[in-house]
């Protein structure tokens, strides 16, 4: 381990010790909390998983509310990014992920803020009566140990689980692999991008490290092409199309195979850093380099472009989280214990 990662590990250990010894207190919200998070720096498909879990919770009769940090958002929380009827802030104010969740989720409020306990209490005290909250979904909550939770769901990217196995900044791990033991449920995301032998080997490795955790496999699949106005079409319209694709996501390597899986011919692929803030000059350059090609991006990127001048035919590929029903049964049965 290099010196920078060693310092980072010492900081993590010191922080954990403060909570274990009671010098720092873990706070508990008055309703149930499910946390969805990861062990690595992005690329696990967390946002589609949060959306899917919130939709399933609503379908099963719960009134969930999502608590999110609002990474890169300029608004000071706690505040609503959405109140169940679309976004109330733009991506510059709230960050791209809260706005995307607010666009996708009807009847489910999204509250952003660094302090999740304060955000939760803000939601309880300010949400309209018809949306009376009985469950919080904690977005990117695995490392937020300041807030107690009933269930910890940990996503592991099956196509690149742990990178080089080193802690940030020398690797992609946010915590040592031993931290996986905190996960009640471990989900191997992007399983559709990994081979059967790799999945089996990873499953056995995780079960060896975390014998008390349940392990499920999930896929992230293209389900729609979304226009600037929010209209959706089947992703099959990409079959045979020559496309110019661009994205600012944690794992751009996933974007090409997602497009190719629907028959698109990816002629150009432009990658920007995760949560990239686009300016008009960036879009103008993309358009200039995409003559004669269909321009497509991700949904997370599209929500950041609405304030800019865009060609009418620009669209986004929607990726949804797909997992067996038993995963949801497990999550909600844990909560009912």
Question: pLDDT tens digits for 181-194?
Answer: 999 999 999 999 99
Per-residue confidence (pLDDT) for residue 177, from 0 to 100: 94
Omega prior to 169 cis, within 30 of 0: yes
Greater confidence (7 vs 330) lies with 330
Per-residue confidence (pLDDT) for residue 335, from 0 to 100: 64
Angstrom distance (rounded) from CA 305 to CA 253: 21
Confidence class of residue 5 from pLDDT cuts 50, 70 and 90?
confident
Confidence class of residue 321 from pLDDT cuts 50, 70 and 90?
very high
Closest alpha carbon to 317 in 189, 222, 192, 193:
222
Does 89 have pLDDT greater than 90?
yes
Across the range 236-247, mean pLDDT stands at 98
Q: Which residues pair with 67 in a beta bridge?
A: 111, 138
Angstrom distance (rounded) from CA 274 to CA 253: 12
Residue 330 has, within 13 A of its CA and on its CB side, a CA count of 16
Per-residue confidence (pLDDT) for residue 36, from 0 to 100: 98
Does 220 have pLDDT greater than 70?
yes
Q: Is 276 helix (H, G, I), strand (E, B) or coil?
A: coil
Per-residue confidence (pLDDT) for residue 285, from 0 to 100: 97
Across the range 254-283, mean pLDDT stands at 96
Q: What is the mean pLDDT of the chain?
A: 94
Does 293 have pLDDT greater than 70?
yes
**pLDDT tens-digit map of 139-180:** 999 999 999 999 999 999 999 999 999 999 999 999 999 999
Greater confidence (6 vs 171) lies with 171
Confidence class of residue 336 from pLDDT cuts 50, 70 and 90?
low
Angstrom distance (rounded) from CA 321 to CA 301: 18
Per-residue confidence (pLDDT) for residue 7, from 0 to 100: 82
Backbone angles phi, psi at 220, to 5 degrees: -115, 110
Q: Is 42 helix (H, G, I), strand (E, B) or coil?
A: coil
Angstrom distance (rounded) from CA 304 to CA 327: 32
Across the range 203-215, mean pLDDT stands at 96
Q: Which residues pair with 298 in a beta bridge?
A: 317
Calculate Rg over the CA atoms of the chain. 20
Question: Are 4 and 169 within 8 A, CB to CB?
Answer: yes
Across the range 307-317, mean pLDDT stands at 93
Question: Are 250 and 140 within 8 A, CB to CB?
Answer: no
Does 337 have pLDDT greater than 50?
no
Greater confidence (303 vs 9) lies with 303
Backbone angles phi, psi at 64, to 5 degrees: -80, 160
Across the range 200-212, mean pLDDT stands at 96
Residue with tokens 């890169």: 72
Which residues, at least 6 apart from 283, have a Cβ–Cβ distance to it below 8 Å?
305, 308, 309, 310
Closest alpha carbon to 215 in 326, 54, 139, 141:
326
Does 246 have pLDDT greater than 90?
yes
Angstrom distance (rounded) from CA 241 to CA 166: 40
Question: Are 121 and 29 within 8 A, CB to CB?
Answer: yes
**pLDDT tens-digit map of 96-137:** 999 999 999 999 999 999 999 999 999 999 998 778 999 999
DSSP strand E in 101-241: where? 109-112, 135-139, 151-157, 185-189, 214-227, 232-233
Q: Is 266 helix (H, G, I), strand (E, B) or coil?
A: strand
Which residues, at least 6 apart from 197, have a Cβ–Cβ distance to it below 8 Å?
none
Q: Is 311 helix (H, G, I), strand (E, B) or coil?
A: coil
């Amino acid at each position: 381990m290099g010196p920078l990662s060693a310092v980072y590990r010492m900081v993590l250990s010191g922080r954990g010790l403060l909570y274990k010894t009671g010098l720092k207190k873990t706070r508990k919200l008055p309703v149930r909390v499910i946390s969805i998070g990861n062990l690595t720096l992005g690329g696990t498909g967390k946002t589609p998983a949060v959306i899917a879990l919130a939709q399933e919770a609503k379908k099963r009769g719960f009134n969930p509310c999502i608590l999110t940090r609002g990474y890169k958002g300029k608004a000071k929380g706690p505040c609503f990014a959405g109140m169940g009827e679309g976004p109330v802030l733009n991506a510059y104010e709230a960050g791209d992920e809260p706005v995307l969740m607010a666009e996708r989720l009807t009847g489910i409020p999204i509250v952003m803020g660094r302090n999740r306990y304060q955000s939760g209490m803000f939601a309880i005290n300010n949400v309209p009566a018809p949306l009376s909250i009985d469950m919080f979904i904690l977005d990117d909550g695995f490392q937020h140990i300041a807030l107690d939770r009933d269930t910890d769901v940990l996503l592991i990217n099956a196509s690149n689980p742990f990178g080089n196995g080193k802690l940030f900044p020398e690797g992609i791990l946010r915590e040592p692999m031993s931290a996986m033991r905190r996960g009640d449920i471990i989900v191997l995301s992007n399983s559709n991008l990994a081979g059967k032998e790799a999945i089996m080997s990873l499953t056995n490795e995780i079960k060896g490290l975390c014998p008390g955790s349940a392990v499920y496999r999930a896929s992230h699949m293209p389900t729609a092409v979304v226009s600037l106005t929010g209209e959706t079409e089947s992703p099959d319209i990409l079959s045979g199309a020559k496309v110019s694709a661009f994205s600012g996501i944690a794992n751009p390597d996933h974007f090409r195979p997602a497009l190719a899986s629907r028959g698109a011919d990816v002629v150009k692929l432009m990658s920007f850093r995760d949560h990239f803030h686009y300016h008009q000059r960036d879009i103008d350059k993309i358009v200039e380099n995409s003559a004669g090609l269909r321009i497509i991006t991700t949904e997370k990127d599209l929500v950041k472009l609405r304030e800019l001048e865009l060609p009418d035919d620009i669209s986004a590929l929607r990726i949804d989280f797909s997992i067996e029903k038993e995963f949801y049964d497990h999550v909600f049965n844990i909560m009912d214990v």
